[in-house]
Structure 1
Amino acid sequence: MRGPFAIAVLVILVALGLNSFFVVDEKHKALVLRFGQVNQVRTEPGLAFKLPLIDTVVQYDDRILSLTTQPLEVTPLDDRRLVVDAFARWRITDLVRFREAVGASGEEGARMRLDRLLTAKIREVLGSVPSTAVLSKDRTPLMNQIRDLARKEAASLGVDVIDVRLTRTDLPDQNLSATYARMRAEREREAADERARGAEAAQRVRATADRTVVEVTSQAQKEAEVIRGEADATANKIYADAYSKDPSFFAFSRALQFYTQSMQKQTSSLVTQPDSLYFDYDRFLKSIGEQPMSPRQISAAQDDAAEKAAVDAANAALRKAQSTEAPSPPADQPAATTAPATGGSSATGAGSASQ
């Protein structure tokens, strides 16, 4: 009887001895509870002692924990509803206060309370700013404000809110169509403004270009007139020098130039009288006179001679036509005159000459 009893007592003593020690690793912190009240706080890793069957050890995670809130709708100052998701990181800092706040629910109870706390602070902060600030890229001040407010109230739970981030900020599905239409209208208005400014700038450029063209053209015409005037003056000087050296030869040269220009076309025909000055060079020179003449006067005399020759040729052609179609008029009735014949036409008569 003593053998089995001794073995039983030994087993009980060994079990009690093993139950008197517990190990706290580096990832956790521990509370030793005696009759439900906190007796010890173990924050350092290692082997620790407790009373068997009396003390209870509760361990909590000492690492940084995460919390993701449920999507919630917020209403900024401009009454545009937004759907927001938040992400928080937190850590247990005061085990005794944490135990008193959440009780036996532990970390799960703390997550539920932090989720409600973050939801309230997110709505409070985002409801005090316009939606443009919430939707902007630089939302760090808003997130820091939410973190600071949540940290103050989370301190009563024995936890520290390390960081808060807004992971998603979107419009509700029922508002997407209206929002897209409004955004499209705004972009179209901006595009129209840009096109109007571009057209105005293009008009200014065209006006400047037109003004520049006019100025350059005017300047070029002015310079051309100056150059042309200088060239005419030089030519007149050359003519005057040539005329002063040999007036007869100068007149002969001008007459030849007139003949050449008046008979340039191969089909040209000229009807004139036998006594016309056109082909009588000696009479043409006599018609000029003995007094010296300037080149301009000689040119004018040549033009007058050509015009007279053309009138005589027209009269001769008219007389010939009248003589073939009707009786000749009385001697005392003057012959009718008509306009000179145009180049390229041909008539036969007395004194006709062709090239």
Structure 2
Amino acid sequence: MKKWIFAIVICFIAFIGLNMTAYTVAEDEVAVVKTMGKIVKVIIDNPNDVEQVEKALKDKGYNVEVTSQKGLHFKLPFVQTINKYSSKYLTYTSVKETINTYDSRKIDVQMYAQYRIINPALFNMTLGSNSKLNTLMDDRVYPVVVQTANMLTFNDFFDRTKITEAIDSKKHSLNSELVSAYGIYVTDIGIHRKNFPLNNISSIEEKMSMEIQKESEKLMAEGDSEFQMAKSETDRIKKEIVAKAVEESSKIKAEADAEALRIYQESLKKDLEFYRFIQRMNTYKNLKDTTIFMDKDNDILDYLNGY
């Protein structure tokens, strides 16, 4: 019985000792190991960042072991302490603020940023806990959006491509500062929500209405000008076609009249008696139901009788 009690006590002491000397770093965590308050070891998330983290710490005068090995580790009990932080992507959302565009238009903007801890040693030395992260983002990341808005016009600010390009152009310099000073890397910055200030909505609507009316008048004037030009061109083409047709028809009629006269003259030359016969027939037709008086020596009687 005593042996069993002794074995249980030994196991309990071993368990307490193991618990005091062993610790685990999960896959979604990074850690800082301190010996008597001095950082001696850093466990980071990405193996590709090991050299970068080592260099950043050496540049600040710290000779620290950097590793990306997660899982079970051991420490000196009562001497070493472990600080763990999440290695997941964290999301920051700012409060709504009113900012000015380049053309002095006001917009209510709420922004977001996604970031992660890549150097837990610098993060531990400067911030120490996640509770100070929002303050850091308010002071360092949010001004990037404000500066971007100050350089863009109102219309450009609502162009997704232009606002994204403008923010991305400043993200590199921002990350250089955040990584070297705080061990934080920002992967994405954007506009979470943008609205018009309530006291500006009426003036914006009025200005937009005026711009729409101005654009409408411009389009109507351009349309009228195009219509008049098209009508003038159509009238000119019509006159040219009609003139050409009249000229052509006059030419054809003149040629036809000339040909008819020629045929008529040719027929007279061939049979003069036939011509006289035709003329008598026409005279008889015109004398129908008509009474005339003439003496016997009138030449018309000889003409009607065929003499």
TM-score for the superposition, normalised by structure 1: 0.67
Quote the residue 1:319 is aligned against. Answer: none
Query: Counterparts of 1:6 and 1:134 in 2: how far apart (Å)?
Result: 73
1:215: how far off? 1.8
Matches within 5 A, 1:1-355: 11-43=12-44, 44-103=69-128, 106-138=129-161, 139-155=163-179, 156-257=181-282, 272-275=290-293, 283=300, 286=303
In structure 2, do the counterparts of structure 1 residues 273 and 17 end up closer, same or farther at CA, with 3 Å as the change threshold? closer
Q: Distance in 2 between matches of 1:120 and 1:141?
A: 16
Deviation, 1:69, is 2.1
Q: CA deviation at 1:98?
A: 0.6
* Counterpart Cα distance in 2 of 1:286 and 1:259: 11
Deviation at 1:219, TM superposition (A): 1.8
CA distance in 1 between counterparts of 2:194 and 2:106 reads 10
The letter of the residue matching 1:220 is A
Q: RCO (CA 8 Å, sep 6+): is it higher in 1 or 2?
A: 2
2:144–2:167 CA contact under 8 A, matched in 1 = no
Match of 2:56 in 1: none
Q: 1:41 to 1:204 in 2, by over 3 A?
A: closer
Shift of 1:53: 3.8
Count of residues in correspondence between the two structures: 275
Change (3 A) 1:255 1:89: farther
Structure 2: distance between partners of 1:111 and 1:229: 100
CA distance in 1, matches of 2:99, 2:143: 10
Structure 1: how far apart are the matches of 2:107 and 2:259? 89
What RMSD, in angstroms, separates the aligned Cα atoms of the two structures? 3.2
8 Å CA contact 1:87, 1:167 repeated in 2: yes
Distance 2:260 2:283 in 1: 17
Name the residue aligned to 2:50.
Answer: none
Secondary structure at 1:208 match in 2: helix
Residue segments in structure 1 that go unaligned for 5+ positions in a row = 264-268, 291-355
Measure the CA separation in 2 of the matches of 1:286 and 1:141.
111
Identity of aligned residues (%): 23
Distance 2:302 2:264 in 1: 18
1:6 to partner: Cα distance: 9.1
What amino acid maps onto 2:192 in structure 1? Answer: T
How far did residue 75 of structure 1 move? Answer: 0.7
Contact 1:83–1:170 (8 Å) recurs in 2: yes
Which protein is bigger by CA-based radius of gyration?
Answer: 1
Change (3 A) 1:217 1:52: same
Note if contact 1:146-1:164 (Cα within 8 Å) is conserved in structure 2. Answer: no
Q: CA deviation at 1:45?
A: 0.5
Change in CA separation of 1:256 and 1:174 when aligned onto 2, cut-off 3 Å: farther
